[in-house]
Amino acid sequence: MCGVAGAYQQPDGKVLVGTMVDRLEHRGPDAGGVVELVDPDTSVVLGHRRLSIIDLSTAADQPFAKDGLTLSYNGEIYNFLQIRRELEALGVRFATRSDTEVVLEAWRVWGTASLRRFRGMFAFAVHDARTGSLTLVRDPLGIKPLYVMPRGSGVVFASELKAILTVVGPELKVDPAAMVASTLYYWLPQEFNAVQGVHKLAPGSWRTYHRDGSVSEGRYWDTAEEAARAAAGPRADLREVLEASVQAHLVSDAPVASFLSGGLDSSIVTALAHRADAAIEAYTIAFRAQDQRLEAMPDDARYARMMASHLGIRLHEIEISPNVVDLLPRMVDILDEPIGDPAAINTLLMCDAAREAGVKVLLSGMGADELFGGYRKHLATLITARYRRLPRAVRTGVVAPAVRAMPVAVGQRGIRTVRWAQRFLTFAELPEEEAFRRSYTLYDRDELVDLLDPALTGDVDHVIDSHRAVYEDTTLTDQVDRMCLADTRMFMVGLNLTYTDRASMAASTEVRVPFVDPVVFAAAFSLPGSEKIRGRVQKAALKDAARAWLPDEVIDRPKASFGVPLRAWVTNDLRELVDDTLLRGELVGTGFLQREPLERLVADQRSGRRDESKQIWQLLCLEQWYRTVQAAGVGTA
């Protein structure tokens, strides 16, 4: 795992790339390099930071140059040995044992056709001295990031937005539509750019910049098409597919460990990793008792201990009790984009602990919920149809008023069922796409319009319309499949993979996600929606497969989220920060946030009438992000 940066057709390219590489040092503390390529007609500078995982020797350092091709590559190709054997059969000779050299030689032999051969996570830039062209590539499901800024007749790119802002921040402006999207979702969908002029290369795509200033591009993987193809094909053997994926993700010349929350997904990954490597260790998190009570959180650590005992592996427990006031600005800087999900803190602290113990690589169960219908929103959206069968007078005259009148907390103890019931009512009467969107976003349209500058109403509608466009861009006929596909295209890449990459890389560790894999993706969509959610049982097919590996008590336990005691933090730790930084902050001062509805939101949270902790955390993060990019010289649109 590494960081890449580069500049093409930039007169100040060497200075730009050198500064960006320094800013990315956390992504690769083992080695770094900047190469200015000799080309009379083209200015090309490539940079790299290396976290050495495969072939730990300096021979595999990057940028990696060989016979006219130069590569700066971030990621891992898990089937690189198989591809290497294919290339050797074609007469290719190798000088290293690295997957880096395999990527380079595969590109030389097959060009863009090589991309579907790679099983892994990657984002890379490759320069061809023969044509003078530079090609940028991103993996099929968007595990690894790549930010791109067209500049003059060329381009500047990097693994993280902050690297680009460091060198050209004053040339850029904040995109108000992105701030609106962040406020609605608490993260940023792929199609929105945090700052104008810098975009994320789309997953499953490549783009080539040519000497004459022209650009060519293409898609080698289309998520909607692949899902439809899998749904029309034969049913996969899920157990066999998962075993093979976890086995593939273990390839490493550095120590590998596993996240183990005690939930189904991480337990599957840990159990399968243990079958392949009996010495593997695991990391889990625990919370302060008072925070658990206020948040009404399940004791996940108990299940993690149970699973570790079942497997006979060593479990490292990390108590989450950070100084969130101090940690908030650090997390905002780490996350790069305006993301308001505190789960990133868990990832950062676990990765920090693993790195201190000498572990560079960790396995995660991320992606299973998106692919197999595991989120509460999936089941809740299905239940809305049943709820609407109740007489309207009962729904609107009895159920809704009673639920809304209930407090979400009494004293210092949260009432989780009330929070869920109040959340359910916000989308229970809506049609499918709208209900699904409302099930996991922070506001409905009118609430968001009321909270924001009235001039942003058009942006609000644009953000909502973009969700509809993505959700409806499919030929899948099953509602569960449609929700899962939308999540893989938006929620997974925009939030979960993004915060996992940034938080793990901030600790100079690599997190691998065996569920986020093209073969597993195809297997998931080869199953009908009724096998993902069977009655009220979610991830039913995954649970069926897991009974070969896990105890029933872990498989059948209630669903728990990879969360933090957010209500406790917002109510107690962050109270002064909310008053001083948010209510009197830049976003209120500029008019982006309207003071009165913001004050009502905070008052509702503090009174216990409603749970607005997620909204308040997101707005705090957005406020801090806005100040951070302003400090980098980024202007307002």
d(CA 163, CA 200): 14
Q: Whose CA is closest to 74, among 201, 180, 247?
A: 201
Alpha helix stretches (DSSP H) within 473-594 = 479-486, 497-506, 518-525, 529-532, 540-546, 552-555, 566-568, 575-577, 586-589
Query: Tokens 């658990």 sit at which residue?
Result: 292
Strands 256-259 and 361-363: parallel
Q: What six digits make up the tokens of 562?
A: 């990879």
DSSP track, 437-476: HHHHSS--HHHHHHHB-GGGHHHHHHHHHHHHHHHHS---
204 is in an annotated binding site: no
Distance between CA 503 and CA 514 in Å, rounded? 18
Query: DSSP of 126-183, one letter per residue?
Result: EEETTTTEEEEEE-TT--S--EEEEETTEEEEESSHHHHHHHHGGG-EE-HHHHHHHH
365 marked as part of a ligand binding site: yes
| Alpha carbon 581 to its chain's center | 27
Q: How many CB atoms lie within 10 A of CB 170?
A: 11
Bridge-based pairing of strands 195-196 and 44-50 is: unpaired
β-strand pairing of 282-287 with 315-320? parallel
Rounded Cα distance between 35 and 37, Å, is 6
Separation CA 430–CA 410 (nearest Å): 30
Reading the block at residue 505, the tokens are 């890389």
Catalytic residue, from 2, 351, 484, 621: name it: 2
Among candidate residues 561, 637, 45, the one with its CA nearest the CA of residue 342: 561
Burial class (CB in 10 A: 0-12, 13-18, 19+), 425: middle
Nearest to residue 183, comparing CAs of 522, 627, 626, 575? 626
Q: Is 99 among the annotated ligand-binding positions? A: yes
Beta carbons within 8 Å of 325's beta carbon, 6+ residues apart: 573, 574, 576, 577
The answer to whether residue 2 is catalytic is: yes
Residues 6+ apart with CB under 8 A from 589: none
Phi, psi angles (nearest 5°) of residue 194: -60, -40
Q: Which residues are annotated as a binding site for ATP?
A: 364-365
Binding residues for L-glutamine: 99
Annotated active-site positions, please? Answer: 2
Q: What residues are designated binding site?
A: 99, 364-365
